[in-house]
Amino acid sequence: MDSVFRRRATQVALGIGAIYIVAGIAWILLSDALVLQVSNDIDWLTFTQRYKGIAYVLLSGLLVVALVRTGNLALLKAQQRLHIGEVRVQDLFQHHPKPMWAFDEETLRFIAVNHAAVAHYGYTEAEFLGMLATDIRPPEDVPQMMRLLSETLTPHHDAGIVRHRKKNGELCHVHVSLHRMRIRHRDSVLVIADDVTDEVRTRDALKRQELQFRQLHDSLQEALWIGKDDVREMLYASPAFLTICGHSARSLLQDRTLWLSLVHPEDRPIAEESLLNLVAFGSAQCEYRICRPDGSVRWVADRKRRIVDASDGSRLVGGIIEDITDVRAAAQALRDANEQLEERVQARTAALQFANDELDAFARTAAHDLKTPLNAIIGFIGLLRARYAPALGPEGDRMSALVESSARGMNHLINDLLALSQVATHQLQPVSVDLSAIAREVVAELRQSEPGRQAEVRIEDGLHAQADPGLARSLLMNLIGNAWKYSGKRACAEIEVGRVESPDGTEFFVRDNGAGFDTRQADKLFKPFQRLHEASEFSGTGVGLATCQRIVRRHGGHIRLSSQPDVGTTVFFSLSGRARTRPADEPPRDSGFARLA
């Protein structure tokens, strides 16, 4: 640049000198010719020659003054413009939003740094000016920087993304551009740095996610694929295709007709229709068979759908191919097992039904065969006591009364056993049953059987349940009958029928203030012929509560007892399946409570 300025200044100076010489020669020649034309007088010539030189000196002096003045004005204006330009450049450099600095190309020492660099890197301007350009680079990156500076750089060179170290030790990624220029008469490099740390981290995170996603795809047993929207070209296929169909993912990408050629000929229309549905509706799924190169046939589930990029509206299609051969085989085996099980269940049900019918017929026959002689005994004993009472005497009358009572007891026992057996075979017809109304009918029958009995009976209104009406009546007859019987020794018996809410749902209850019992022996009460009181104290066959338990179970409910000796008993029951079943080894919830489900 300096040589150009020197050459230009020399040319200007030579030009001015040449002009001055030409003008002087022209002045001499022209002025002499003009003087001779005026007169040849010696005095005239002497006079004109003297003042002609003075005039030339004056004119040339004025010309020199004008030239010097014009040159000085131009130089001053140029200096002013240069100063203004330097001020603007300096202001732009200092206030530029991106970090900028300049360093000596030979010594690598910083010679200028702007405010953005000071704020970004944490060094003061004085600290920067005492450092080298290599000081802000990690030690392992310095050789790369030196190789770059040793190369022949263009005036403006993009150095790409490099790492810088801040004063606090934090590493950052910056995009650097280098500009070679002379600053303060030294060959220097102007650097502009753009922090791209967030972009680099985002890019690295995306790369990691892509790698993890690809590793996940590669590890899946299902084959994943992505293709163009027209389904004519596959863009990606996961390695699982090799396991499923026996062909590598690369071969599927190279030959777009390969997959359809693998579909079993009988199932090919299914696969082709699925592709048409994908194009038409955006999603499709189906199952079909494929033929592997080794000759084996596998079942696959093909699920696919259209993928739309919301940012630019571009569309792709993607899908999953899953080998379901084992699943279908297991499902078929399960169906076969279910069919066999159903056949066995039907056979056993038929056998059980036959056995139940036989048992029912036997029970009815046995009941009839047993009740006929019992009724005869009762009838003949009655006739004997009526016709031959004087002959029997007191002892004979007592003995005949004992025979009649035993026969009637046996008759009641047969009826109870027959009712117990019929509970299991009774066809349930559940409807909404008014338990309050049934309880009142049962109490009315009991009062009619013992007109002189004093008992206070409270029955809650609105007791409704879904139950079989006949079994519900049998249940209440047994429970209220027990309460009536076991409270018979009270001067004023108290019986209550109602309901309560418990964690198991709504429970109905029958409560009395009768004899009560020890709940530790409560399990016995739900077994036929088990009694906790002597027959001499309270009559009965010991079958009533067993019948109640079967009725409750048939309705999916539960039954439990709470009792204390000489205080009374409460029987709780439900007629729904919401109550839980207590395991056989679970103890009662408290000492005065027993539960049987």
Q: Are 563 and 487 in contact (CB under 8 A)?
A: no
List Cα–Cα distances, 561 to 208, 522, 556, 573, in angstroms.
67, 7, 17, 9
Question: Cα separation of 10 and 338, whole Å?
Answer: 113
Structure tokens belonging to residue 62:
């004025």
Number of CB atoms found within 10 A of residue 541's CB:
19
Residue 333: exposure state from Cβ atoms within 10 A (0-12, 13-18, ≥19): exposed
Number of CB atoms found within 10 A of residue 203's CB:
13
Out of 3.40.50.720, 2.60.40.3080, 3.30.450.20, 3.90.180.10, select the CATH number for domain 242-425.
Answer: 3.30.450.20
CATH class of 429-573: alpha beta
At 359 the pLDDT is 61
Question: Cα separation of 238 and 427, whole Å?
Answer: 60
At 588 the pLDDT is 35
**Selection from 496, 520, 505 nearest residue 570 by Cα:** 496
Q: Are 220 and 321 in contact (CB under 8 A)?
A: no
3-state secondary structure of 518: coil
Query: Do β-strands 223-228 and 186-195 pair in parallel, antiparallel, or remain unpaired?
Result: unpaired
For residue 304, what are the β-bridge partners?
A: 284, 319
Structure tokens belonging to residue 285:
């799924």
Question: Cα separation of 170 and 164, whole Å?
Answer: 8
Q: Matching CATH topology for 242-425 and 429-573?
A: no
Give this prediction's pTM. 0.38
Q: Are 101 and 112 in contact (CB under 8 A)?
A: yes
Query: Do β-strands 505-512 and 568-573 pair in parallel, antiparallel, or remain unpaired?
Result: antiparallel
Mean pLDDT per 10-residue segment, the chain (597 residues): 69 78 78 74 73 76 78 74 63 84 91 92 92 93 87 78 93 92 83 92 87 75 84 83 88 85 93 89 92 93 88 83 92 91 87 70 60 73 77 79 68 59 66 92 87 88 89 86 84 89 87 80 60 52 74 86 85 67 37 29
Amino acid residing at 234: M
> In the block, which residue shows the tokens 């000071």?
118
Strand blocks (E) in 309-385: 315-323
Region of 396 (left: φ > 0; alpha: ψ -120 to 50; beta: rest) is alpha
The topology under which CATH files domain 97-202 is Beta-Lactamase (3.30.450)
Q: Are 238 and 220 in contact (CB under 8 A)?
A: yes
Identify the sign of the CA torsion 343, 349, 351, 357: negative
Amino acid residing at 229: D
Give the start-to-end residue ranges of the domains of the chain: 1-91, 97-202, 242-425, 429-573
At 412 the pLDDT is 58
At 591 the pLDDT is 29
At 406 the pLDDT is 67
The DSSP string of 241-282 is HHHHHSS-HHHHHH-TTHHHHHB-GGGHHHHHHHHHHHHHHS
Structure tokens belonging to residue 42:
């010696």
Question: Cα separation of 290 and 259, whole Å?
Answer: 9
